[in-house]
C-alpha cells in the first residue's frame, strides 16, 4: 500500500474531512497550533528570524544563563496565562470521542493538557517544569518564578514593552545585573525541562511516538497540525507513516518539509479546521 501524491482542490478542508472520516487518528502538532493562544512561532509565514539559544551556549557559562533566565523570567510571566484555543479544544474533544488516539506535540506550552487531552507525548518537554543539571531534580516553573521575582524585584515590570518570543521567553537587549537562582537542593545549574536546540529528544518519547504511528497502519491516518516539519524530531514520524502507507494530512499555513510525503495538504488555520473536523466527527 502506498500513499497518494499531495492533492489540491477548490475545497481542501472538505477533502481533508472526507479523507479522515471514520479513521483512527494520531495528531502531530507544532507551534502553528498555539499562535491563536498568543504564542508566536518560529517559522510561520510572517514570523521574524529567531535565534534560539542552543544547549552548548546555555552550558557555556554564567553570562549565557543570565541572558536566558532574564528573558525567560519576563516571557514566563506572560506565557503562563496563555489559554487553549479552539484547535486544542477540538483535539481534546476528538480524543474523548474515541477518534484521536494520541497527540505527539513539538510544543512545550502544555496547552494540550490544559484543554483536556490526556494521551500526550511532550516530545520536546514542558516549559512549566525546571530540571537541575547536577542532581536531576524536577520542580515547577512557578516555584522558580517566585524565587526570581524576589531576587530581581521590578525586572519583569520594567521590561513590559519587550516582544514576546517563542518557547516562553522575551526579546531583551539588556540583561546585565539579573540574578540567576540555583537548585534549592544542591545549588546546581537549573534548566527549563525542555529539549534545547542541539539536544536529543529522550529515546522513550521517540519510541512511544513511533509506536503510535505504526499503530495506524491499515486503517488510521496521521494528522499534522501547525508544524513546518523543519527539524527531524517531527519529520521522522511523517517519514515513518509514509513508509507504512499511512495517509498523512498536513494542516499548516505555508509549505513544510514534509509536503512531498503528504497525501493531502491543507493551507488553512488550525483552529477553524480542527473545529470543523471535530464537528464532522460528532465530537
Is 81 among the catalytic positions? no
| C-alpha 260: how far from chain center | 22
> Nearest-CA neighbor of 277 among 11, 4, 14, 3?
14
CB 209 within 8 A of CB 123: yes
Q: How far apart are CA 227 and CA 16, in angstroms?
A: 17
Beta strands 264-266 and 248-251: pairing type? parallel
Q: How far apart are CA 269 and CA 18, in angstroms?
A: 18
Residue-wise over 169-205: b if at least 16 C-beta within 10 A, else e? bbebeebeebebbebeeeebbbbbbbbbeebebeeeb
Round to the nearest angstrom and report the end-to-end CA distance of the chain: 30
Beta strands 125-132 and 120-122: pairing type? unpaired
Q: How far apart are CA 103 and CA 153, in angstroms?
A: 39
Q: How many residues does the chain have?
A: 283
CB 118 within 8 A of CB 95: yes
Beta strands 169-171 and 163-165: pairing type? antiparallel
H or E stretch including 198? none
CA atoms within 13 A on the CB side of 190: 28
Catalytic residue among 73, 88, 112, 124: 124
φ, ψ for residue 239 (rounded to 5)?
A: -60, -40
User: Could you give the residue numbers annotated as active site?
Assistant: 124
Amino acid at each position: 500500500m502506498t500513499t497518494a501524491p499531495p492533492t489540491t482542490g477548490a475545497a481542501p478542508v472538505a477533502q481533508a474531512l472526507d479523507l479522515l472520516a471514520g479513521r483512527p487518528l494520531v495528531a502531530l502538532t507544532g507551534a502553528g497550533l498555539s499562535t491563536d493562544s498568543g504564542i508566536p512561532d518560529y517559522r510561520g509565514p510572517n514570523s521574524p528570524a529567531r535565534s534560539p539559544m542552543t544547549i552548548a551556549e546555555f552550558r557555556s557559562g554564567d553570562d549565557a544563563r543570565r541572558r536566558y533566565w532574564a528573558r525567560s523570567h519576563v516571557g514566563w510571566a506572560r506565557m503562563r496565562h496563555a489559554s487553549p484555543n479552539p484547535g486544542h479544544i477540538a483535539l481534546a474533544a476528538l480524543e474523548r470521542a474515541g477518534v484521536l488516539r494520541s497527540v505527539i506535540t513539538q510544543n512545550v506550552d502544555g496547552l494540550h493538557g490544559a484543554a483536556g487531552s490526556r494521551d500526550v507525548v511532550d516530545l520536546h518537554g514542558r516549559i512549566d517544569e525546571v530540571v537541575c543539571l547536577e542532581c536531576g531534580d524536577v520542580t515547577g516553573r512557578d516555584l522558580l518564578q517566585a524565587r526570581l521575582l524576589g531576587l530581581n524585584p521590578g525586572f519583569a515590570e520594567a521590561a513590559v514593552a519587550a516582544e514576546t518570543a517563542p518557547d516562553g521567553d522575551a526579546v531583551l537587549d539588556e540583561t546585565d545585573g539579573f540574578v540567576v537562582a540555583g537548585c534549592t537542593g544542591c545549588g546546581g545549574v537549573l534548566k527549563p525541562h525542555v529539549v534545547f536546540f542541539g539536544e536529543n529528544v529522550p529515546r522513550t518519547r521517540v519510541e512511544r511516538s513511533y509506536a503510535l504511528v505504526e499503530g495506524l497502519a491499515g486503517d488510521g491516518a496521521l494528522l499534522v497540525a501547525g508544524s513546518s516539519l523543519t527539524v527531524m524530531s517531527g519529520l521522522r514520524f511523517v517519514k515513518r507513516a509514509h513508509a507504512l502507507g499511512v495517509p498523512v494530512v498536513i494542516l499548516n499555513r505555508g509549505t513544510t518539509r514534509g509536503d512531498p510525503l503528504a497525501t493531502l495538504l491543507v493551507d488553512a488555520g488550525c483552529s477553524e479546521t480542527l473545529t470543523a473536523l471535530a464537528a464532522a466527527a460528532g465530537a
